[in-house]
Structure formats: C-alpha cells, structure tokens
Amino acid sequence: MNRFFSSAYTLIEVLVGLTIIGLIFGVGYINFRDFARRQAIAGAGKILQGDLRLAQGLALSGQKPDVAFCNSPNTLNSFDFRVFSTTDYRIEANCSGGSVISKEVFLPTGITISTPNPNPIQFKVLGRGTNIPSGTSIILTLTQASSNNKFTVTVGFGGEIQ
C-alpha cells in the first residue's frame, strides 16, 4: 500500500483564484471610489446649506459686526451670500459704510458652484426678505468635475432654503 499522497494546487487553480480575487477587489475599489465622490459632493452641499442659513440667521438677528464700516452711525442693511468665483463664496455684512467679509469658503478640489442671478443673494435684516424677485427662486448647483455628480440648493424669494 502506498501511503504517500501529494496534495497541492495546480498552477491553473492558483491563477483562477488570483483572477477571482483581483476582480472582486477591482469592483470593490470602483464602488468605494464612487461612494467617496458622492459623499464629497453631499458634504459640500450640506456646508453650503448651512452657510446660507448662517447668513439668513445673522440677518434675522440684526447682529452687526464690530468694525468701523458697521459702527454707528452706519446701519446694517443685509447679509449677502456672494459667489465670488466658481470655487469660492463669501458671506458679507452689507453696512451703509461698506461691506465686511464674515466668512469665506473655498470648495474642495474638483467641486464648482454656479453663479446665482442675482449675485449676491441678500438676506435683509430683521425679516425684511431677500432680493429675489417675488414668486421666483434661485438654484445653486454644486458640480463635481470628475464624476458629474450634482447637488442643488434652492433659495426661495421669502428666504426658504431647501
């Protein structure tokens, strides 16, 4: 009786196994990359919504920045959301003495923002509305160049942010 058994994988079996592992890894990596891109644009969109609400809240409270442009006898007219370029936007306090930048945001690499009409979007103080014509709304669109993913934010004439 021969008790010597050789148990091993053949070269073909090893190559098939490596090919299957490579395919699974490749599909998983592509799906992860797409997920990460979608999360990046969604995160930038949520920050944009938050910044619009910040401008709106500052205007509703009438909170003036402590700078010469806004100090007495100058008055605060509005907080403006201004798209400065396709990659950054600003929140500015619009006082009778001039404008003061309250916050400036640079978008992540590869994400751009559309320019609204009118630009800037003004949130007038003490609940006096916006500069958006009655019955209309403004759509701000964030676009991710590498994937064409989009995130839209709508601002209504009454200041509703969606």
pLDDT at residue 158 in the model: 87
Measured distance CA(143)–CA(86) in Å, rounded = 10
pLDDT at 2 over 90: no
pLDDT tens readout for residues 63-117: 888 888 888 888 899 999 999 999 999 999 999 988 898 899 999 999 999 999 8
Give the start-to-end residue ranges of the domains of the chain.
11-156
pLDDT at residue 85 in the model: 93
pLDDT tens readout for residues 121-138: 999 998 788 999 989 999
Measured distance CA(24)–CA(99) in Å, rounded = 55
CATH number assigned to the domain with residue range 11-156, chosen from the 4 options 2.60.40, 2.40.128, 1.10.10, 3.55.40 = 3.55.40
pLDDT at residue 142 in the model: 94
User: Structure pTM?
Assistant: 0.83
Residue 5: both structure tokens together: 């058994």
